[in-house]
Amino acid sequence: MSDYDTVSAEVEHEDEIPEDHPRYQDLLTRHRIEKGVEKGITHLQGMHAEGRGSAFDYLLGEETIPSADDAERAAAAHLLLADHPVLSINGNVAALVPGEMVDLAETVDADLEVNLFNRTPERMQAIADHLRDHGAEAVKGLEADARIPNLDHQRGKVDEDGIYAADVVLVPLEDGDRAEALGEMDKTEIVIDLNPLSRSPRVAEVPIVDNIIRAVPNITAHARDLVDADRDTLEKIVEEFDREHALEAAEERIRSGF
């Protein structure tokens, strides 16, 4: 039996959502995306995407399953091993985990780059400002002086000294076409997506099937734990991570776990 659909729509600030509410995470996520739309950070379709993710999270049990925790540890190791790691930010990421992405970037010494499916100068600027409000010092993506090959002009725009040059990219909530095009650039791609069957996690070297509001702080926690580890230790974590198992375990949980 579920209390899935009983939610109040009349919350002005997230502090008003009771932390002991059985659907706290879902309400918090929806609230942040709604505020993101109101602020011009998030595209209206981001609200739809978030709803879709919310159903998969519900089926996963709204928790970080062990295989997702493994993926988050592998992601931390990849980011720490990278020469030039970049964290990609879209409208939903900015609305949901702005401070958490800034923390992760600082912990693994990565760049933050704004990269939108529905790119407009206003949204680019609003998101860059929003990240700075949450402590970001440098925000890339506004230059857009390079292109991802095999994508249409607008969607392929990146910074030459950002995603274009990166060896490891974290692309949370990425669309399938761009995830695939980035993968073809021989970058190590880390994707966060709640649907283990969607194309983005399927093409990623590290697919994280988890809610971004749990995943990002957990990658940061693993990175803090590993920050003084030697390369051998990090490389061993990377090698031992089994992406097929991660995808299968998530699918199995969705099939049987609810």
What are the binding residues?
A: 30, 52, 193-195, 199-200, 211-212
Closer residue to a copy of itself in complex, CB, 5/186? 5
92-100, 133-141, 195-203, 241-249 -> range binding a copy of itself (CB under 8 A): 195-203
Closer residue to a copy of itself in complex, CB, 24/258? 258
Q: Could you say which of 21, 99, 118, 235 contacts a copy of itself (CB under 8 A)?
A: 118
Binding string to a copy of itself for residues 199 to 228, with x set by CB under 8 A, is what? xx-x--------------------------
Do 127 and 94 form a contact (C-beta atoms < 8 A)? yes
Closer residue to a copy of itself in complex, CB, 30/157? 30
198 binds a copy of itself (CB under 8 A): yes
Looking at this protein, which amino acid is placed at residue 6? T
Compute the least distance from the CB of residue 214 to a copy of itself, in Å.
18
Binding residues for ATP: 30, 52, 193-195, 199-200, 211-212
Helix, strand, or coil (residue 102): helix
Question: CA nearest 207: which of 108, 68, 51?
Answer: 68
28-36, 73-81, 222-230, 233-241 -> range binding a copy of itself (CB under 8 A): 28-36
Closer residue to a copy of itself in complex, CB, 176/217? 176
Q: How many residues bind a copy of itself (CB under 8 A)?
A: 43
CA atoms within 13 A on the CB side of 45: 7
Helix, strand, or coil (residue 127): helix
Residue environment code for 128-160, b if the CB has 16+ CB neighbours within 10 A, otherwise e: bebbeeeebeebbbbebeebbeebeeebbbbbe
Q: Could you say which of 101, 138, 197, 220 contacts a copy of itself (CB under 8 A)?
A: 197
Do 204 and 183 form a contact (C-beta atoms < 8 A)? yes
53 binds a copy of itself (CB under 8 A): yes
122 binds a copy of itself (CB under 8 A): no
Determine phi and psi for 192, rounding to 5 degrees: -110, 125
Do 43 and 117 form a contact (C-beta atoms < 8 A)? yes
Closer residue to a copy of itself in complex, CB, 51/66? 51
For the chain, the straight-line distance linking the first and the last C-alpha, in angstroms and rounded, comes to 10
Q: Could you say which of 13, 15, 19, 44 contacts a copy of itself (CB under 8 A)?
A: 44
54 binds a copy of itself (CB under 8 A): yes
**168-172 β-sheet, strand order:** 111-114, 85-89, 168-172, 188-192, 206-208
What Cα–Cα distance (Å) separates residue 140 from each residue in 81, 193, 233? Answer: 21, 23, 31
Strands 157-158 and 146-147, by their bridges, are antiparallel
Beta-bridge partner residues of 196 = none
Residues that bind a copy of itself (CB under 8 A): 1-7, 9-10, 30, 33-34, 37-38, 43-45, 47-56, 59, 117-118, 175-177, 193, 195, 197-200, 202, 255-256, 258
